[in-house]
C-alpha cells in the first residue's frame, strides 16, 4: 500500500506519494490530478496519512534554505530509457543552477532529443524532488512548467537561480 500526504508551503500545497520508502509521485496544485496521472500508469492502493516524517523534514529544510534536501531520495516512475536518464540528470542539477532543454538532452545521451527532453519534464511525476523546474529554454526564457510558469519562477528565485 502506498501512502500520501499534503505539505503546506509558500508555493502552495505539495502532495507527496510514497510506496514504502520510495517516492512515486509529488506535485503542486490539484491532488486528484496528480493521483489520476499516477494511477493511470499503474494500479495502486492509497492511504492518506497526516505526515511522512522524513518527507516533511526534507521539505522544511528546503524551505529553510537547504536546497539539496529534496534530491537525495530514492524514487521510481514509469518512463523509457531516455526519460529515466533525463530525470537522473535533473537530480544532479544544483540548486541555483539551470540547464536548457538542449543541455538536458545532451547530458542524457541524446543531443538531438530536445523535444524528448521537454517531454521528460512534462511527464515527471515527482516534482520538485526531480527538479524539472530547473530546465529552461535555450534562449534563457523559462519555458513551460506543469504547475505554471509563475510557480517555476518562484521556485527558481527561492533557489537563487533568478533575481
Q: For residues 78 and 113, what is the distance between their CA atoms, to the nearest angstrom?
A: 19
Q: For residues 19 and 38, what is the distance between their CA atoms, to the nearest angstrom?
A: 12
Residues 6+ apart with CB under 8 A from 46: 1, 2, 3, 4, 17, 35
Indicate which residue of 132, 135, 151, 156 is catalytic. Answer: 132
* Set of cell numbers at residue 51: 505526515
Residue 121 annotated to the active site = no
Answer whether 86's CB lies under 8 Å from 117's CB: yes
Q: For residues 93 and 99, what is the distance between their CA atoms, to the nearest angstrom?
A: 8
Answer whether 109's CB lies under 8 Å from 58's CB: no
Q: For residues 106 and 90, what is the distance between their CA atoms, to the nearest angstrom?
A: 12
Rounded to an integer, what is the distance from CA 111 to the centroid of its chain?
22
Please list the active-site residues.
132
Amino acid at each position: 500500500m502506498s501512502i500520501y500526504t499534503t505539505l503546506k508551503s509558500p508555493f502552495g500545497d505539495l502532495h507527496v506519494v510514497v510506496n514504502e520508502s520510495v517516492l512515486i509521485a509529488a506535485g503542486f496544485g490539484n491532488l486528484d490530478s496528480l493521483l489520476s496521472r499516477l494511477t493511470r500508469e499503474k494500479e495502486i492502493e492509497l492511504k492518506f496519512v497526516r505526515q511522512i516524517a522524513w518527507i516533511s523534514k526534507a521539505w522544511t529544510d528546503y524551505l529553510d534554505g537547504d536546497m539539496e534536501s529534496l534530491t537525495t531520495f530514492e524514487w521510481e516512475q514509469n518512463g523509457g530509457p531516455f526519460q529515466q536518464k533525463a530525470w537522473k540528470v535533473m537530480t544532479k542539477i544544483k540548486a541555483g543552477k539551470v540547464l536548457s532543454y538542449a543541455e538536458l538532452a545532451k547530458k542524457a545521451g541524446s543531443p538531438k532529443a530536445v523535444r524528448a527532453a521537454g517531454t521528460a519534464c512534462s511527464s515527471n511525476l515527482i516534482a520538485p524532488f526531480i527538479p524539472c523546474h530547473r530546465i529552461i529554454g535555450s534562449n534563457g526564457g523559462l519555458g513551460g512548467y506543469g504547475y505554471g510558469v509563475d510557480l517555476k519562477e518562484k521556485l527558481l528565485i527561492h533557489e537563487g537561480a533568478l533575481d
